[in-house]
């Protein structure tokens, strides 16, 4: 990471997170965590989860879950060093407004899960997180990204398709999506659809 850029960012200096990589974008900062969350980060994550409606949680996880239960919270939002990472989008106040979780499922492929705070949906946060993660996946030499999205989650399906994901098959009430990273990273980062 460019240490000078990190230290010059007033937004990052005020945060209780220990970022490993950061990018600035408009009124937000994305922070990548490749290690388990510390207690200050867990407090921020719990606050983020409180800002997501039960319906948005159901659309993301496919069923209602009780995130007041610490075991459930940590199961779905923790990072296993070496096999996963979370990209958190933080607003100008240092609050988490979106998270994208990446978990390796083989040495060359990973599964993604994306969640945006309910009051901040349709503001470009999900797309920014997805584009950051596609670029990171390319940098890690991953070949394939996968996601499982409920067929009724039309907003997420549109976003995934916009980013280059294609439907592979139905899996119960969900659609399995796949992105071949090398075919999409250059064109998507430039905002151009591959030929």
Residue extents of the structural domains in the chain: 3-189
- Structure confidence by residue, pLDDT tens digits, 42-75: 999 999 999 999 888 888 888 888 888 888 888 8
- Burial bucket for residue 4 (CB in 10 Å: 0-12, 13-18, 19+): exposed
- How many Å apart are CA 143 and CA 130, to the nearest integer? 15
| Domain 3-189 architecture | 3-Layer(aba) Sandwich (3.40)
Residue 11 CB partners (closer than 8 Å, separation 6+): 24, 29, 90, 92, 94
Q: pTM of the full predicted structure?
A: 0.77
The H-or-E segment that residue 180 falls in is strand 174-180
Residue 13 has pLDDT above 60, yes or no: no
- Structure confidence by residue, pLDDT tens digits, 139-164: 889 999 999 999 899 999 999 999 99
Residue 22 has pLDDT above 50, yes or no: no
- Give backbone dihedrals phi and psi of 7, rounded to 5 degrees, phi first: -70, -25
């Amino acid at each position: 990471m460019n240490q000078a850029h990190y230290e010059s960012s007033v937004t990052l200096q005020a945060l209780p997170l220990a970022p490993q990589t950061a990018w600035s974008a408009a009124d937000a900062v994305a922070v990548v965590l490749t290690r388990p969350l510390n207690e200050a980060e867990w407090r921020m994550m719990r606050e983020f989860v409180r800002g997501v409606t039960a319906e948005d949680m159901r659309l993301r996880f496919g069923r209602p879950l009780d995130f007041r239960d610490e075991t459930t919270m940590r199961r779905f939002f923790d990072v296993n060093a070496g096999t996963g990472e979370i990209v958190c989008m933080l607003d100008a106040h240092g609050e988490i407004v979106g998270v994208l979780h990446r978990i390796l499922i083989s040495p060359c492929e990973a599964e993604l899960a994306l969640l945006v705070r309910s009051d901040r949906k349709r503001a470009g946060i999900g797309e920014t997180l997805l584009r950051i993660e596609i670029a990171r996946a390319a940098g890690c030499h991953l070949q394939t990204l996968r996601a499982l999205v409920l067929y009724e989650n039309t907003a997420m399906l549109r976003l995934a398709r916009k980013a280059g994901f294609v439907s592979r098959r139905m899996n119960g009430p969900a659609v399995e999506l796949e992105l071949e990273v090398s075919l999409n990273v250059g064109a998507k980062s430039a905002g151009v659809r591959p030929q």
